Amino acid sequence: MKKVIIAMVALLVVAGGSFGAFLAVKNKSEKETEKQVSELAENVIFSFDSEAITEINFDCPDGHYRAYYEDETWKLDGNEFTLDQDYIDTLLYLVSDFTAETNYDVPDDSKKAMYGLDNPSETITFSDGTEKYTVYVGKITPTNDYYYFMAEGKDKVYTVNSIQGSVLKASRMMLKAKDLIPYDTTNIKQITVKKDGKITYDLTYDTDTLTWSLPEEYSELPFDQTAVSSMLTTLTRLEAEQMLEEYLEDMTKYGFDKPSAEVTIKGTDGTERNFIIGNSDNNQTYTYILMKDSNQVERYYKSDLNFINYKPFNFLPDSVNSVSLYNINGFELIFGDIQDSFTVNMNERKLEMNGKAVDMENSEIYTSFQNLFNSFTTLIFTDTDIEATPDNSDPVLTAIYHADDTDDVKIDFVDAGNDKCYIFKNDVYSGGIVDISRLTGKNSTQSFYSSFCERAGIVQTVKSNPITEE
């Protein structure tokens, strides 16, 4: 967003600079041209190397601030807050090659007062250690198109486009960094989100293995590293749409008394950023955030803060294969009245069901078998519940997979109520939940089983719905 501002300022500077003026006067008479060029020269305010500037002093209505350049970063004298690096860069870009729109000759005291320059609202001084360049900022014009200003070493009043001029209207809030967090994607160690005082998810980064993980109780579940990477890409780029008041005392004003979420983000350098997100149910566009260390209120677009609504299952893969059909030699399927044994060699397209050979060269049979197998082997988690304590003594479905070089893998689907199933692996509850619709209904294990048996010419063993009937 700030790069767009820089580009906009650059465009405006070019539009108001010498090249545009040259084109405008090219076809005029020599006398008029000389006059135009002379006037243009009078509007050139500064031309200096922005990279040579090492100190900037701001005198604003809300205080004096000194910024200095050290270790390739702009820092605030006293370190009261972190400076907005992009704002400083934009300001330097504008002023280092600064040409005014117009000038109003040398003002007397009354004219200075009229332009707001008898007591400038902002004074900004740039220094390279030898030379100083000072801008005095006045009022905006009645049409809101321009700002009046003066400069040290110049005796006239000048105007600058209001968009450019807004960059000169420095203030404490303009100077403060707008980043939600002071980290990039490589130096975050932990992310914790709470709602109603309870942790909804807690992510930790292992600097040795370079991987993210949920707490130990989720260790039986697979983890999608790309899900965190995607979230961090957005999170580390978030900037406040507007900086509001500091040192907030009335927590009810922005809904911080009953926050939507509390967030703690820790850096690998030992620092951390803590903030709470106000209750903004009645606002479809904005959400307010309160930084705990400063009680600084900031406004963000609501759509940018979806990460607070994540749950552990958001960090699971979209789907998980219990085993690969090409890595097993057979499996058992127990599903209500179904109790079938399969021997399979997919590389040779060989399949037996309960000792009877099945023609896997038939494309319809081949496809229907794969659909059946994937319906209970491919797990699509819809939620997690690590506090549940189910047992798998009476599972809805059990699949036992056999391989030549590894131990058997057993997967149990256990009825969790509300059209859900708990997933067990090798008799251990994984903490994962899937929809029971994977097993019955359209495009389910039950329907794919019937389709496979019909195509293979096998008498079905299923007699009832294993979920709805006792």
Enumerate residues 6+ apart whose C-beta is below 8 A from 241: 286, 299, 300, 301
Confidence (pLDDT) at 441: 84
Residues 101 and 110: their CA atoms lie apart, in Å, by 22
Beta strand segments in 94-187, E: 97-99, 102-103, 122-127, 132-140, 146-151, 158-161
Enumerate residues 6+ apart whose C-beta is below 8 A from 314: 201, 227
Residues 14 and 244: their CA atoms lie apart, in Å, by 33
Confidence (pLDDT) at 460: 65
Average pLDDT by stretches of 10, the chain with 470 residues: 42 33 38 52 93 98 96 95 96 96 93 96 97 97 96 96 96 96 96 96 96 96 96 96 93 93 97 94 90 94 95 95 96 94 96 96 96 96 95 96 95 97 97 94 92 88 51
Confidence (pLDDT) at 462: 52
Confidence (pLDDT) at 22: 30
User: Three-state secondary structure along 146-162?
Assistant: EEEEEECCCCCCEEEEH
